[in-house]
Chains A and B, each alone.
Chain A
């Protein structure tokens, strides 16, 4: 086998420029794919992190039908104390659950004493909310971040603050209907201004859950949603499946399911963008495959054509067809290895440089996001394996043709 590799390497070096050009083409393809995978992957995880860690959490549990009518923030679809207890029991048995936050979501009238507008609010237990959405304090663009908020305080969305000309420290009034239709009002002090982000709930204000209970005259426990944070987002599917197994099958007296469980993917529109990124990555990989396939096949067809006489000679002196096939396949393999090795090294160096230079970018209203491209060993190994496999595959046809060549015809070839 070593002899075949030696001979194949010598043959490649016979046409140095052509070999280098083909390898460079493969190198370029590998670099393009690895950089795209690493940058898009970094962008994707950054955005997923932003969305899940500053608002959504990784998984959310609601009463069945809540999400379908979320636009009206229906208080009559809140989870009851008993249902909440069931969820807490289920979460207690999940080692991958890092934290969870009970939320009451409500709509209210927001008044600064001269003007009134509508506001959507998220009522939370600050400590639990911070544990579930650790990036939430970063969204407080004005006001005190520590401790998130206390009873009697409100974090108001940036746009309402601007529109209603409300500043940190101002007093405001919230007026809300409870689920029975009665109206109640309560004064709040503006604790901070909350930056808006894309996605559901990204432009909601925030109050303490105890304030929501008194405003809505809720006795006992009532919760609109339970947001859950996992230790590791890669465990999303297994935790989701487990919760679905524990809670999804529970039925009420009418035989209808009690809970609905969603991952962030089914709640956030960014998931579609993430899927589009994955699709683009897939198509870029297809392009790489095409580049490797066409370039290697082209070179190997030329190599076979140029060496017909030589193939006749080695065949005449007794080289078995299998060895002739191996010789050309190894040439394709070596070209694939050379291009891939160069491409991988260049990509890893470029990724390291990008991390050192700390490239930042803006996404929607979020500015100065730091791009930290990384690439997993599995991604590198997969791409390397794909390229080398395609290089071998591309050389198979010309190699097969060479191995099947009639020695007499080949020897007559000039």
Chain B
């Protein structure tokens, strides 16, 4: 079963009498355990598309299935529940909660979203921190670690719930070259290890070079897609 299926997806924003079509009838399919990026110039609609896939923004028209579920008509509450269960997020600015330690940041989705029992939670968080190479940094606060380390923690937080899909919006934009490469490699390793699909919205050629499928958007239309190896149909 495909992980994401989009059919004739449209997103229109209204501002007074003005209507802006951010996405104009897009079709695509993404298979499980893929490494996918949406590229395109600013305003092309890649972030909008990512927000729709992430159930943060409902499509205006068309049908979108994520993890086999039609997410086009989800209520705000159900969308939040769906995200908590199936989707992980990695943000450009890392978005770690500053009052929580590294360990607690990774623990947050298990504790506040999925209510895991304490013992299992502790074990799982430590596993994830070890997997991203932050196993001995759990006691530190986000302000005490570097940007690359923050993004590693963010990846751990996105994967800790066994999410089938991780959406990453410009995950390397705030990282230096070396750290960015390290983070991309980490995400690829996580994909291999946990069979998680990573979907990026990016300008970063280092990500584009590493992904298996690239969708290029322009003015809300899917212009082309490239496949380094199998796994997607545009």
Q: Using an 8 Å CB-CB cutoff, how does the interface string of A311-326 with B read, 1 for contact, 0 for none? A: 0111111111101000
Select one of A3, A11, A13 contacting B112, CB under 8 A: A3
Check A321–B80 contact: CB distance below 8 A.
yes
Contacts of A323 in B (CB 8 A): 112
When C-beta atoms are compared, the residue in chain A nearest to B54 turns out to be A316
Q: Is B20 part of the binding interface, using a Cβ–Cβ cutoff of 8 Å?
A: no
Check A408–B51 contact: CB distance below 8 A.
yes
Nearest-Cβ distance from residue B208 to partner chain A, whole angstroms: 23
A to B CB contacts below 8 Å, 10 in the list = A11-B99, A313-B97, A314-B97, A315-B80, A317-B84, A317-B113, A318-B80, A318-B81, A320-B80, A321-B76
Interface residues of A in 1-28 (CB under 8 A from B): 3-4, 7, 10-11, 13-14
Q: A7–B141 Cα gap in the complex (Å)?
A: 14
Contacts of B51 in A (CB 8 A): 408
Q: A361–B16 Cα gap in the complex (Å)?
A: 70
Contacts of B152 in A (CB 8 A): none
Q: Using an 8 Å CB-CB cutoff, how does the interface string of A275-318 with B read, 1 for contact, 0 for none? A: 00000000000000000000000000000000001101111111
Which has the most chain B C-beta neighbours within 10 Å: A10, A318, A323?
A: A318
Contacts of B93 in A (CB 8 A): 309
Check B77–A317 contact: CB distance below 8 A.
no
Select one of A3, A10, A310, A318 contacting B83, CB under 8 A: A318
Contacts of B158 in A (CB 8 A): 317
Q: Using an 8 Å CB-CB cutoff, how does the interface string of B46-88 with A read, 1 for contact, 0 for none? A: 0000010010110000000000000000001100111111011
Nearest-Cβ distance from residue A17 to partner chain B, whole angstroms: 16
Contacts of B91 in A (CB 8 A): 313, 411
Q: Is B95 part of the binding interface, using a Cβ–Cβ cutoff of 8 Å?
A: yes
Q: Is A398 part of the binding interface, using a Cβ–Cβ cutoff of 8 Å?
A: no
Check A320–B109 contact: CB distance below 8 A.
no
Contacts of B81 in A (CB 8 A): 318, 320
Q: Is B98 part of the binding interface, using a Cβ–Cβ cutoff of 8 Å?
A: yes
Q: A323–B109 Cα gap in the complex (Å)?
A: 12
Q: Is A29 part of the binding interface, using a Cβ–Cβ cutoff of 8 Å?
A: no
Select one of B57, B76, B88, B111 contacting A3, CB under 8 A: B111
When C-beta atoms are compared, the residue in chain A nearest to B111 turns out to be A3
Check A317–B99 contact: CB distance below 8 A.
no
Q: Is B108 part of the binding interface, using a Cβ–Cβ cutoff of 8 Å?
A: yes
Which has the most chain B C-beta neighbours within 10 Å: A315, A317, A407?
A: A317
Q: Using an 8 Å CB-CB cutoff, how does the interface string of B88-116 with A read, 1 for contact, 0 for none? A: 11010101011110000000110111100
Given contacts A3-B112, A7-B99, contact A317 B89 (CB under 8 A): yes
When C-beta atoms are compared, the residue in chain B nearest to A411 turns out to be B91
Select one of A309, A317, A321 contacting B108, CB under 8 A: A317
Total B residues in contact with A, Cβ cutoff 8 Å: 30
Contacts of A13 in B (CB 8 A): 99
Q: Which 6 A-B pairs have the closest CB atoms?
A: A318-B84, A10-B99, A313-B95, A318-B113, A318-B83, A316-B89
Q: Is B164 part of the binding interface, using a Cβ–Cβ cutoff of 8 Å?
A: no
Select one of B77, B89, B99 contacting A14, CB under 8 A: B99
Q: Is B150 part of the binding interface, using a Cβ–Cβ cutoff of 8 Å?
A: no
Nearest-Cβ distance from residue B193 to partner chain A, whole angstroms: 21
Check A407–B112 contact: CB distance below 8 A.
no
Given contacts A7-B100, A310-B97, A314-B112, contact A321 B57 (CB under 8 A): no
When C-beta atoms are compared, the residue in chain A nearest to B88 turns out to be A317
Which has the most chain A C-beta neighbours within 10 Å: B51, B83, B111, B112?
A: B112
Check B100–A319 contact: CB distance below 8 A.
no
Check B56–A407 contact: CB distance below 8 A.
yes
Q: A179–B162 Cα gap in the complex (Å)?
A: 103
When C-beta atoms are compared, the residue in chain A nearest to B51 turns out to be A408
Contacts of A320 in B (CB 8 A): 77, 80-81, 84, 113
Which has the most chain B C-beta neighbours within 10 Å: A14, A323, A411?
A: A411
Contacts of B111 in A (CB 8 A): 3
Q: Is B188 part of the binding interface, using a Cβ–Cβ cutoff of 8 Å?
A: no
Contacts of B100 in A (CB 8 A): 7, 10
